[in-house]
Structure formats: C-alpha cells, structure tokens
Amino acid sequence: MTNEKMLDIVRSQLAIDLNCTAEDLSGEQDSIIYTIARENPGRRPFPRSDPHFEMLSMGSAIVVSASPHLLATIKMQLAKAGRDEAFSMPFVYGHGQFYLPDISQIKPLNPPGGFDYDMAEQREIQALYRLEGFHYAIGNQSGHPRPDVLALLAIKNGIIVGMAGASEDCASMWQIGINVHRDHRNHGLAAYLVNRLTLEILKRNYVPYYGTASSNIASQRVAHRAGYFPAWVCAYRGRFDGQETSPTS
C-alpha cells in the first residue's frame, strides 16, 4: 500500500457514494460538480434521508450530490461561490473532516505504560457491547450493514478503559472510532490505540480512515499524533425551504 494507491481506492469509493467520477474528486481547479444522489451498488451504507444533500471536497474541486428536486436550488445558491464560500453557505452545516494514514511517514507509537492491551476479532466484539462508554469505538451490532470487525482494548486493573474499533464500511475501507475513559485521557492512549489499530488494518490490506467533526480539536489531534493526514471534508446536512436533511455518517 502506498499513499497514491490508497487515495485511488478512496476516490473510487467516494465516486460510488456521490455518483460522480474519481476524476471529479481529483480536480485541482476551483469548480463545483453537481450530481443526482443514487443508490449505486457498493456505496457505503450510511442512512440517507429524503431529501438528501452532501457536499465533499478532496482539494480544490467540490462535488455536490443531492436529491433531484434540490439541485436547482443548490446551483442557484452556489452560482458565484468559491470552495470556502460554498462550505460557509447558510444552508450548509454539519462539517466532517476525514483522515487517512500517511503511509510514507506512519510509525508504531510506544504504548503508554500501566496498561494491558488486547486485540478483539469480530466474533469476540459481541461480548463488548454490554460495556458503557464505547459508542464511538463500537456499536454496530449483529446484522448491521457496517459491522464492527476489529477492536483494540486498553485494560487497567482488569477493566477496559480505552478502545479503538473498526467498522467495515465497504469492501475496501474500515473506519476507526475511539473512546478513552475520562480518567485516562491526555496520556497518549487514544493516539496509541488508533495508531496500532491502523497498522493492523493496513496489514490486512484494507484502507483505514478516521472521521471527526470540524469542531472536535481533541479528536483532530489524535488523528495527527496517530500518523494521519486530512484527506477530505464533507458537509452532510443542509436546510432547504424549511426541510432539513439528516447526517449521512
């Protein structure tokens, strides 16, 4: 796996999700591409509302994917907008930032002392759902379209105090989530768990990715320390004529 191969995989998947082309996502000019949202085979199975709206950029170009009856309104609103203006429009809110591991730079972090660590496979995760406080790490129980497939546990005195989990969001990409109990934060535990789980996912030849809200500075710092770089931004909610779209992720 290289950074370029990883980005090719991600662009191909996002193109399926947004009903565009991979070339649309790699554009270097400030342009806005509009597509009709479709249930394409292989899309990441995040829930969609009706109407649906999503706006995503991996650099300069923006792709807007929306329900057909919204596109005319959106085009009118964004007619003279640049990239930064588009993401700041009054009808756009709910920004998510998504990260990929920097394959050329990522290195194993040293584990914080005083903890035991254990890797749980998919068949073992079911028993972890009874635990409270780990809904960002795991939560997609049996039968979920994006199942939890791997989890790394941090254990203190026999109690699980931290967990990084991975969900199988599609055939090629696993998303990482993280929870650390409040009493054990600010010691590098979250970054270590994400880093080690990332390297394990790469060994299995899947693309790990990490998402966080644009306002969550602590989570963004975890991504940076774990060896990730910002890869795309997505606005996944909007308000149109009194109708509100819901998050896609």
CA angle 74, 33, 86 (to 5 degrees): 50
Whether the per-residue pLDDT at 188 is higher than 80: the answer is: yes
CATH assignment of 116-226?
Answer: 3.40.630.30
In the chain, which segments carry CATH 3.40.630.30? 116-226
Q: What is the mean pLDDT of residues 108-130?
A: 96
The residues, any chain, with a CB within 8 Å of residue 236's CB and separated by 6 or more, are 53, 54, 94, 96, 245, 247, 248, 249
pLDDT at 249: 47
Higher pLDDT, 105 or 93: 105
Question: Torsion angle, CA of 214/108/187/224, rounded to 10 degrees?
Answer: -20
Averaged pLDDT, 109-127:
96
Q: What is the pLDDT of residue 104?
A: 93
CA angle, 90 then 92 then 95, to 5°: 130
- pLDDT of amino acid 40: 96
**Which residues are bridge partners to 65 per DSSP?**
35, 54
Q: Per-residue pLDDT averaged across 122-151, rounded?
A: 93
Percent of the chain with pLDDT over 70: 96
Beta bridge pairs of residue 168: 174
The pTM of the full predicted model, rounded to 2 decimals, is 0.91
- How does the average pLDDT of the chain come out, rounded? 92
Judged against a pLDDT cut of 60, whether residue 243 lies above it is answered with no
- Section 174-201 average pLDDT: 96
